[in-house]
Every structure is written in C-alpha cells, then in structure tokens.
C-alpha cells in the first residue's frame, strides 16, 4: 500500500511557487506634492530638537529658525516635546534674581532669564527671598500714628497723612497696642442709658455723639456709638420715626378712602412702612377700598366664606376655577385673611399619635388622611419621618382588604382612643 502523507522538514518554507496569471490592478507613479513655504524641513526639526534640549527659550529658537513664536510652540506640541529643565543655576542668575526679585514682576524676570515663573519662585524660596507687601514702618510713621490715635484723629486722615492704606494703619496700630481716643473702653451705665434715650428720638449717630460729649461723657465717633447701640439690642428699624403730622395724614387718607400711593410718595415712605404704621394705629381693615383701586371684582362675603371653608381641603386650582379667579389671586387673598393651607400646616402631637395608632392597628393611610383633613401623600411622608411607614413589611398589622365604602369611617378622636404601642405590647405579654 502506498503512503500518501509525510512530515515537512523544518527548512521547508514553500511547497510550490505561485505566479499570478495577471496583474490585479494598474499602477501609476506617485504625484508630486506642492511645496509649501512654511513646511518644516528635516533639518529644521533636528535643530529645533537640539535647541529645545539645550533649554533655549522659544524666542531664541524662533530667532534662530526664522519663524514665529506661535509656530515654534505649535511644532513643539506636535512633536510631543516636554521641557524638563535640569539646567543648573549659575551665580550670575542668582545675583540677578536677588537684585530684581522685589522690584520687577516675576513674569518679566522669568522671561529675561529664560526660565519658568514657577522655577523662579522655587529658586527664590531656596535663596530665602520674599516679596514684601510694603516697606517697614519708620519711626516717623509710628510717631504720627501714636499721636493721631491719642488725639482722636480719624484713621482715614492718619492714613492719608503718612501715605499708608487704611487697613495697614489699623493693623500697625493693633501691633503697637494702640487704642483710638474716639473709642474709649469705659462705657458707663449712665452713658449707655443716655445714648439709648437719644437714639429713641431718631437723632443721627453723629448728633448723639456730639450731645454726649457736650454733656460731659467721653468723646466718641459715630461708628463706635453705632456698634455699641447695636450690641445693646437697638436697631434703626425701617427708617426715621413717624411724627404726629404724618400720622394725621395717614388717618385722613383712611377716613376719606383716598389712595395711599400719593401719600407714600409725599412722605417718602415705603409700602411696608405705610402698612406697619397703619397696623400700629389700628387702621388696618378700615379703608373704604380695602381691596385697593383694582380693576378686578371685589371679594364678596360669600366668596370669602367659601375660601375659608375650602382652603387647604380643596385644591387651590379648583377653588380658583369655581370662583372665576386666578390661582395667584386666591393665594394672595388667603394670605391677607390669615388662612393657613391645610397641606402645609405643622403636625400637632395629637396628629402624630393618631398616625402611630393607625399604623399599629392596621388602618389605611387614606382613611387617616381623610380623618385628619390632609393629603395622603403628606400623611405618608410624615409617617415615614416619625418611623411608621405604612408600607413597612415589619408593620404590626396590615392594612384592610375590604372596600373603603364598607369600612367604618374613622375620626381623629377614634384614632386617639386606640391603644398605643406600649399598651399593645403589654397585652401581648400578658396573653403569652
């Protein structure tokens, strides 16, 4: 029998030569590319790499190659070159840095030395150099500062006299342990009582300080006086105090039903100030046009009764639709009437106890919401906040499975009458 298989030797790389029958495609010589004047030649790239390795600045490389600085920076980026300068600092550079560091901008000095700004900062730290914020105070400046503080000269004038900034003068005075004569520390009870009495008259702080000085109290400036009065709990409120003539004009406007806008402009008062003073004088609600000079319909007693009855229980959009008014108008008038939205009022201790009892005894969350007059979503959030989630798998009793129409309606009183958690645990322990 003839064998038809054999093993190939290790030196065999081809069993038979292959010669294609025809060419797979026609070939053509490569087209010549157009020459660009700004094209980078291999020699330029080599010189760029060498200059970059020698730590030359971009300006020096641009001058050497006859190109712009931007083109040099772009080519360096395209070549992926990164500058990691290890060029040692020479004595001349250290001398130049020490001589010009406090007088010239760091960026200018770095450009002249051909180094980075961060390199200059690091070298300056090694050499113990620093940039002083301001020259040290001279003996003459300290003398002027001591004399000015002792005589009570305003700090701004002292700063202008010695040519220093306001904050610098205060800092230097604090370092010297000086205290301004306009801010003596000995506030007596009589002085504070007199200052409060003068402030109650509506006088300006400058006039109060002058009056206190005329009465024999220490001379103080208006700034220290205002700080002391605010520390005592006194405040200017909304503005100047009301006088008798202004009160009479306000009463006359309410009695005659006149518009308050011209009065506000005449007195130079804000709407809040007018409203506050009217309430202080007992005039709120006595104006003939209590709704103002408006184009819309005036609220009737029936509409207000409907708003009082349904606000917080019926969605505000439904109330506005039934009354033929806008939602913002309903909210604004409810705020004027002092109504509080039922979905937003704070939960009382009785309501929290009712929610806990309902959670323990398996009452539906919707039934609890109807009993408390709140939205079920609000009840669910409140229950989760007090640790009684109605969908908690560990709830002692599950919710009812019957239809809501067949259940006995619950009220707040019936929920409060249920046993608490402690009583339920006690009953279970006794039964066990």
Render pLDDT for 321-370 as a digit per residue (tens, 0 to 9). 998 888 888 888 888 887 877 556 678 888 999 999 999 888 888 889 88
Distance, in Å, from the CA atom of 267 to the CA atom of 273, rounded to the nearest integer, reads 11
Distance, in Å, from the CA atom of 389 to the CA atom of 355, rounded to the nearest integer, reads 10
Higher pLDDT, 345 or 213: 213
Distance, in Å, from the CA atom of 169 to the CA atom of 175, rounded to the nearest integer, reads 10
Burial of residue 187 (CB within 10 Å: 0-12, 13-18, 19+) is: middle
- In this predicted structure, the answer to whether residue 427 has a pLDDT above a threshold of 60 is no
Confidence at residue 132, expressed as pLDDT on a 0 to 100 scale: 61
- In this predicted structure, the answer to whether residue 79 has a pLDDT above a threshold of 50 is yes
Distance, in Å, from the CA atom of 367 to the CA atom of 356, rounded to the nearest integer, reads 13
- In 55-202, alpha helices (H): 58-65, 69-78, 91-100, 106-113, 117-127, 139-151, 155-162, 166-176, 189-200
Confidence at residue 342, expressed as pLDDT on a 0 to 100 scale: 59
Higher pLDDT, 236 or 172: 172
Distance, in Å, from the CA atom of 389 to the CA atom of 399, rounded to the nearest integer, reads 12
Render pLDDT for 52-77 as a digit per residue (tens, 0 to 9). 888 788 888 999 998 998 889 888 88
Mean pLDDT of the 77-99 span: 80
Confidence at residue 354, expressed as pLDDT on a 0 to 100 scale: 92
Confidence at residue 161, expressed as pLDDT on a 0 to 100 scale: 84
Task: Map tokens 């806990």 to a residue.
Answer: 356
Quick one: pLDDT band at residue 131, thresholds 50, 70, 90? low
pTM score, whole prediction: 0.27
Distance, in Å, from the CA atom of 124 to the CA atom of 101, rounded to the nearest integer, reads 8
- In this predicted structure, the answer to whether residue 12 has a pLDDT above a threshold of 60 is no
The four Cα atoms 279, 282, 285, 288 give a dihedral, to 10 degrees, of -120
Burial of residue 205 (CB within 10 Å: 0-12, 13-18, 19+) is: buried
Distance, in Å, from the CA atom of 255 to the CA atom of 286, rounded to the nearest integer, reads 8
Quick one: pLDDT band at residue 5, thresholds 50, 70, 90? very low
């Amino acid at each position: 029998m003839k064998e038809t298989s054999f093993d190939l030797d290790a030196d065999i790389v081809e069993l038979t030569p292959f010669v294609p029958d025809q060419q797979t495609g026609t070939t053509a010589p490569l087209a010549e590319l157009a020459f660009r004047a700004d094209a980078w030649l291999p020699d330029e790239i080599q010189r760029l790499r060498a200059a970059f390795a020698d730590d030359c600045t971009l300006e020096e490389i641009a001058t050497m190659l006859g190109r712009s600085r931007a083109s040099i920076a772009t080519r360096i980026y395209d070549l992926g070159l990164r500058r990691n300068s290890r060029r040692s600092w020479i004595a001349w550079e250290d001398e130049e840095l020490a001589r010009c560091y406090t007088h010239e901008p760091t960026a200018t000095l770095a450009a002249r030395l051909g180094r980075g700004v961060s390199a200059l900062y690091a070298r300056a730290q090694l050499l113990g150099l620093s940039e002083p914020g301001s020259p040290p105070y001279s003996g003459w400046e300290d003398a002027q500062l001591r004399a000015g503080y002792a005589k009570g000269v305003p700090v701004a004038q002292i700063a202008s006299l010695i040519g220093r900034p306001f904050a610098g003068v205060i800092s230097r005075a604090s370092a010297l342990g000086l205290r301004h004569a306009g801010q003596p520390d000995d506030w007596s009870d009589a002085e504070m009582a007199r200052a409060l009495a003068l402030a109650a008259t509506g006088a300006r702080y400058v006039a109060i300080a002058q009056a206190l000085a005329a009465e024999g109290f220490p001379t103080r400036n208006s700034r220290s006086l205002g700080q002391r009065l605010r520390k005592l709990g006194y405040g200017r409120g909304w503005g100047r105090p009301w006088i008798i003539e202004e009160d009479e004009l306000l009463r006359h406007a309410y009695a005659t039903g006149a518009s308050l806008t011209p009065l506000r402009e005449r007195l130079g008062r804000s709407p809040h100030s007018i409203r506050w003073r009217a309430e202080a004088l007992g005039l709120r609600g006595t104006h003939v046009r209590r709704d103002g000079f408006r184009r819309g319909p005036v609220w009737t007693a029936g509409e207000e009764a409907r708003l009082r009855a349904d606000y917080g229980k019926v969605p505000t959009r439904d109330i506005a639709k039934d009354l033929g008014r806008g939602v913002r108008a309903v909210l604004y008038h409810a705020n004027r009437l002092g109504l509080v939205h039922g979905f937003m009022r704070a939960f009382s201790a009785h309501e929290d106890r009712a929610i806990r009892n309902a959670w323990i005894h398996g009452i539906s969350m919707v039934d609890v919401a109807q009993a408390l007059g709140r939205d079920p979503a609000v009840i669910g959030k409140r229950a989760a906040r007090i640790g009684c989630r109605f969908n908690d798998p560990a709830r002692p009793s599950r919710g009812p499975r019957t239809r809501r129409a067949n259940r006995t309606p619950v009220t707040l009183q019936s929920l409060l009458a249920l046993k608490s958690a402690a009583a339920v645990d006690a009953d279970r322990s006794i039964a066990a």
